[in-house]
Structure 1
Amino acid sequence: MSAPIDLAYPFAGRWRVQNSPANRVPSHGTRVFATSHAIDFVPVAADGRTAPITLSTLLRPEPPRRFPGFERPLLAPIDGIVIAAHDGEPDHHAYRGLPSIVYALTQRRRVAAGWAALAGNHVLIDRDGVIVALCHLRQGSLQVEAGQQVRTADVLAACGNSGNSTEPHVHVQAIDHPDIGRANAVPVTFNGSLPASGEVVHAGEPRG
């Protein structure tokens, strides 16, 4: 297994950790598409919660703008070269309650469409042969392009709900090859440690 790559948090403010490899590996329940050490961060309000749950939440999909972190800036977690910056995928509605069960039944179709379909809008950053991916970005928010040098804390895009996402969040994973079909997962840490699922992390402000 590759040595962990240490990253900065790719955001400012409060975000709740989900699907952390600190709790289990593979973190997302599968090793497909080198996701065994991937981690998710869900933006939350000052009280540590995401959008309130109502009767409507339980019965029908919700617009992503209802969630407190939709459109929050996402930042480069490391210095490197952007090798891919994909935009153009729509931000679909969020799915909680009964809609999340219906959404889960279509998971096999999304997996069959490949990693790019799952990732939605995304950025890949190469640092000495290790590629860091940030996924589910908001459509039209990308501020970088392939070939561009970025520094840690540079603004890359905004949090969205594109690809395989049940509510606005950012999915982070590191791999050892730009071809996801040939890649192995690289473990990640953040500022020297790895938060567990359920923790709320509070990061600083983006570079001005």
Structure 2
Amino acid sequence: MTPNAKLIELRTFRRLMRARPLLARGGVVLVCLGVALLIVVPDRTVRTLLGLGAVFTGLFFCTAGFGLLFLPMGPRRDSRVTGAPVAGRWMVVNSPGSAVPSHGIHSLAQTFAVDMVHVPEGVPGRGEPAEKGLIAREKFPSFGRPVYAPADGEVVAVHDSARDHRARTGPLGLACMFAEAMVREAGGARMLFGNHIVLDVGEGAYAVLAHLRKGTVTVRAGDAVRSGQQVAECGNSGNSSEPHIHFQLMDHPRASRAVGIPFAFADISVEDGRGTCVPANDKTLVAREPQAGCG
């Protein structure tokens, strides 16, 4: 999308984003109700009218909610420079450096979101195990890696009770993930992001650190944080195929009402030198360890 493309007005965009999970949840409820009516109502005519009517209405609501995922985003904001929320070598996937929207959708302010997978020095590819299916999360090098505050700010929201599930790889694992994603979609941001932290980093910008390891978040709502302070560990909670960090900036503390903000990581090493950017897909960035005293 070009900067001059015609976009939905911001207020309308926010309202539609708030309606999206309601449509999805209502659709799921109606489909379940319709199936139940088809089973329990004895009169065939009534059973058909009520049951099929509820099922098709529910499917319509679900389809409408899904369609709202692909609405064009609200007005752009100037790009913001932040620190990287990780240290060491990380491969970038689903990057706004390669495509916008980076995750294929604008909902939950994910227009410019980025995913990062830890790759230890000397490990080829992404360092994932060769086996496929439902894999133990501990076999992935990202799991348990420290996660840092990308800027000075204040903690707005924390969720730290979602389980870290097994990684999903290969056709069977990904099929399980997509089936789960439909349920998580109806649950909204908390179920999709899993364990996560929302930080107010100033100037109307809010940072999200998602898919964190259960029980490792060290901050609470209202806490002040410093750039480079460790706030959690990388996990595999929420809508995640393997342990990784999901990072995004947005213009509202609630992702369901927010619009994504473009950003760049400051002073990182990339394959062709050092700079301030978000590398393209499958490129590796190296971020410095935070200085002593930041944590």
Q: In proportion to residue count, which structure has more helix?
A: 2
| 1:118-197 alignment runs, 5 A limit | 118-128=192-202, 129-191=204-266, 192-197=276-281
Answering whether residue 163 of structure 2 is matched by residue 90 of structure 1, we say yes
Answering whether residue 113 of structure 2 is matched by residue 38 of structure 1, we say yes
* Structure 2 residue aligned with 1:201: 285
Answering whether residue 99 of structure 2 is matched by residue 15 of structure 1, we say no
The one-letter amino acid paired with 1:140 is: G
Deviates more, 1:124-133 or 1:39-48: 39-48
* Structure 1 residue aligned with 2:145: 72
| Alpha-carbon distance in structure 2 between the residues aligned to 1:52 and 1:38 | 22
Deviates more, 1:61-70 or 1:40-49: 40-49
- For structure 1, the 5+ residue unaligned runs are none
* Structure 1 residue aligned with 2:185: 111
| Alpha-carbon distance in structure 2 between the residues aligned to 1:180 and 1:34 | 6
The 8 Å contact of residues 48 and 200 in structure 1, kept in 2 or not, is answered as no
**TM-score, normalising length: structure 2:** 0.67
Residue 151 of structure 1, CA deviation: 1.0
Cα RMSD after superposing both structures: 1.3
Deviates more, 1:88-97 or 1:180-189: 180-189
The 8 Å contact of residues 129 and 139 in structure 2, kept in 1 or not, is answered as no
The one-letter amino acid paired with 2:250 is: I
The 8 Å contact of residues 177 and 239 in structure 2, kept in 1 or not, is answered as no
Residue 52 of structure 1, CA deviation: 4.2
- For structure 2, the 5+ residue unaligned runs are 1-75, 267-275
**Counterparts in 2 of 1:86 and 1:77: CA distance versus 1, 3 Å:** same
| Alpha-carbon distance in structure 2 between the residues aligned to 1:33 and 1:51 | 29
Deviates more, 1:16-25 or 1:179-188: 179-188
Residue 85 of structure 1, CA deviation: 1.7
Deviates more, 1:91-100 or 1:102-111: 102-111
Structure number with higher relative contact order (C-alpha < 8 Å, ≥ 6 residues apart): 1
Indicate the structure (1 or 2) with the bigger Cα radius of gyration.
2
* Structure 1 counterpart SS, 2:183: helix
| Alpha-carbon distance in structure 2 between the residues aligned to 1:19 and 1:80 | 26
Deviates more, 1:44-53 or 1:19-28: 44-53
| Alpha-carbon distance in structure 2 between the residues aligned to 1:182 and 1:151 | 26
| Alpha-carbon distance in structure 2 between the residues aligned to 1:144 and 1:22 | 30
